[in-house]
Amino acid sequence: MPLKYPQLISPEMQAQYAYQKAKLTKALERTDSLEFEMLYRLVAREMAQVHPALIIPYVELCISPQCTLRCRDCANFMQHYHKPQPMDLEQVWSWVTAFLESVDHVMTFRVMGGEPLMQKQLPELMQRLLAQPKLQHIQVVSNATLMPKDELLNLMSNNHRCSMFFSNYGPKVAPRYQEIVKHCQEHHVLVETLRPDISWFDMGDCSDRHLTPEQMAATYQRCPNNCRHIWNGEFHHCPRSAHAKYLGLIKDIPEQDYVPLLALDAETRRTRIRKMYDADYIKACNHCGFATGFHLIPCAIQAEKPSRRGPHADANAADTSATVTGTLKQGNQAEQSAQVSSTNTPSMGLVDTSATALNLNSSVYISALNNPTPTATSAAANSSAATAAAPAAAPAAVAGMKQVGTVGGLKVYAQRHANNHKKSKKKRR
Ligand code: SF4
Ligand code: SF4
């Protein structure tokens, strides 16, 4: 590097500079030298300050809303799609390339639907994904109703950079579960599964909960499903936001709540993606069941007719509901998201009832969680006492319910709704 003001530098300093330069030039010839290592670290540190790395802990890619099941409570709103279209590989790939162009590294990249195994071009997509060095681990999430094609399994065989992740919805909904898992294992594919005794979080309908910004921030802060989702060329905070926007279930989602991957240049995308991790809340939080707590429901109940759980859905549609009095440990959201991602199914409304995987903190109670009135609930959730207090008595909404057991040390309450109870009486007669 030519000296700009050599006259200002003493001959001793010039000699020192020449010596260091010669040393570094020599060091660069040998990448195993200590000098090279030190120089590399120095440059990396400088670069990180000028151009910090953007590492995404977890992101989901929805390749098509087509699904073999029609779960009444699908948290990704797949039940609201009428005649969903199959994946267009080139279109999906344009989202992926735009996204990867803007980030440095992705730790877990989930391929999901709907049911991704319905997509004929999935093996080709997988092949392209495996060729991306920025992707650390690629997971294909399936509801275990379809046997994966050998073409896909051969690609994934003996490759620990990718895995099949199967939900376990029980023998009634997914009778081929065991056979499918065994087949994948025989192909030496890394398989991740869930225990069958799982419940889902009831994420409710899309109605306006009339939350204040502070209440939305509290909801977002304790959200276990805040997991980042790519759909329709957009990068969203969660699948709920992405699909509710696409389906028009939530109107006027503001631009800052998502990144339109194809409409921006790489640098702007990068800035916008980074900014999303600093968000306090998104509009969808005002339309989300997490505003009133974590209510457990049985998983994968199949809807016979098109779902009624849209914007004007009946909130009492579930036969039974359970409420966990507890909260997620406050802390690093990225860490929470990564933990949830390792246990959840495509619905992302799923909780392993062992509760350990979700980091549920049994010693802390949020009294607001079970309050039936959204406004009152949110006000309580917003107060600092909501996270600190540990009331001994059951919260108001749990009072009329029966404790049916404990989940990971948390009390679980359940009730049968009056209208469904009447129906079952009628049937018996
Ligand atoms: S929860 Fe999963 S299996 Fe059920 S409809 Fe949604 S995507 Fe399909
Ligand atoms: S809408 Fe908000 S609270 Fe609900 S899942 Fe998405 S980020 Fe979480």
Q: Give the pLDDT score at 7.
A: 54
Q: Give the pLDDT score at 403.
A: 52
Asked if the model's pLDDT at residue 429 lies above 90, the reply is no
Cα(first)–Cα(last) distance of the chain, in Å? 93
Q: What is the mean pLDDT of the segment spanning 102-115?
A: 95
Q: How many angstroms separate the CA atoms of 94 and 61, rounded?
A: 12
Asked if the model's pLDDT at residue 145 lies above 90, the reply is yes
Tell me which of 3-7, 144-148, 242-246 is least confident. 3-7
Q: CB neighbours of 420 closer than 8 A, spacing ≥ 6? A: 316, 319
Q: Using pLDDT thresholds of 50, 70 and 90, give the confidence band for residue 8.
A: low
Which CATH number is 55-196+210-284's, of 3.20.20, 1.10.287, 1.10.10, 3.10.310? 3.20.20
Q: How many angstroms separate the CA atoms of 234 and 38, rounded?
A: 40
Choose between 338 and 127: higher pLDDT.
127
Choose between 300 and 306: higher pLDDT.
300
* Ligand 2 site, CB within 6 A: 219-220, 223, 225-226, 237-238, 240-241, 282, 284-285, 288, 290
Query: Mean pLDDT, the chain, as a whole number?
Result: 74
The CA 276 to ligand 2 mean position distance, Å, reads: 13
Highest-scoring range by mean pLDDT, 189-193, 203-207, 381-385:
189-193
The CA 103 to ligand 2 mean position distance, Å, reads: 23
Whose Cα sits closest to atom 2 in ligand 2? 285
The CA 428 to ligand 2 mean position distance, Å, reads: 40
Q: What is the mean pLDDT of the segment spanning 225-234?
A: 92
Whose Cα sits closest to atom 5 in ligand 2? 225
- Percent of the chain whose predicted confidence (pLDDT) is above 70: 67
Report long-range pairs for 313-320 (Cβ below 8 Å, ≥24 apart): 313/205, 313/206, 313/207, 315/204, 315/205, 315/207, 316/417, 316/419, 316/420, 317/72, 318/73, 318/202, 318/417, 319/416, 319/417, 319/420, 320/414, 320/415, 320/416, 320/417
Asked if the model's pLDDT at residue 15 lies above 50, the reply is yes
If one counts every other C-beta atom within 10 angstroms of the C-beta of residue 151, the result is 13
Please write the tens of the pLDDT for every residue from 373-384: 333 333 333 332
Whose Cα sits closest to atom 6 in ligand 1? 74
Ligand closest in space to the Cα of 222: 2
Asked if the model's pLDDT at residue 296 lies above 80, the reply is yes
Q: What 3-state class would DSSP assign to 175?
A: coil
The CA 282 to ligand 2 mean position distance, Å, reads: 8
Highest-scoring range by mean pLDDT, 301-315, 337-351, 355-369:
301-315
Asked if the model's pLDDT at residue 268 lies above 60, the reply is yes
Handedness of CA 388, 390, 391, 394 (dihedral sign): positive
- Percent of the chain whose predicted confidence (pLDDT) is above 90: 50
Tell me which of 156-160, 170-174, 235-239, 406-410 is least confident. 406-410
Q: Using pLDDT thresholds of 50, 70 and 90, give the confidence band for residue 333.
A: very low
Q: How many angstroms separate the CA atoms of 279 and 212, rounded?
A: 15
pTM: 0.67
Vertex 12 angle, CA 10 and 15, to 5° = 110
Choose between 171 and 338: higher pLDDT.
171
Question: Which ligand 1 atom lies nearest to the CA of residue 113?
Answer: 7
* Ligand 1 site, CB within 6 A: 67, 69-71, 74, 76, 78-79, 113-115, 143, 300, 345-347
Tell me which of 49-63, 215-229, 299-313, 369-383 is least confident. 369-383
Asked if the model's pLDDT at residue 277 lies above 60, the reply is yes
Asked if the model's pLDDT at residue 171 lies above 50, the reply is yes
The CA 168 to ligand 1 mean position distance, Å, reads: 12
Question: Which ligand 1 atom lies nearest to the CA of residue 143?
Answer: 3
Q: How many angstroms separate the CA atoms of 267 and 103, rounded?
A: 10
Ligand closest in space to the Cα of 117: 1
The CA 153 to ligand 2 mean position distance, Å, reads: 34
Choose between 386 and 119: higher pLDDT.
119
Token pair recorded at residue 100: 């990867």
The CA 309 to ligand 2 mean position distance, Å, reads: 17
Domain with CATH 3.20.20 in the chain: 55-196+210-284
The CA 226 to ligand 2 mean position distance, Å, reads: 6
Whose Cα sits closest to atom 4 in ligand 1? 71
Q: Give the pLDDT score at 366.
A: 22
Report long-range pairs for 170-175 (Cβ below 8 Å, ≥24 apart): 170/196, 170/300, 173/69, 173/143, 173/145, 173/300, 173/302, 174/143, 174/144, 174/145
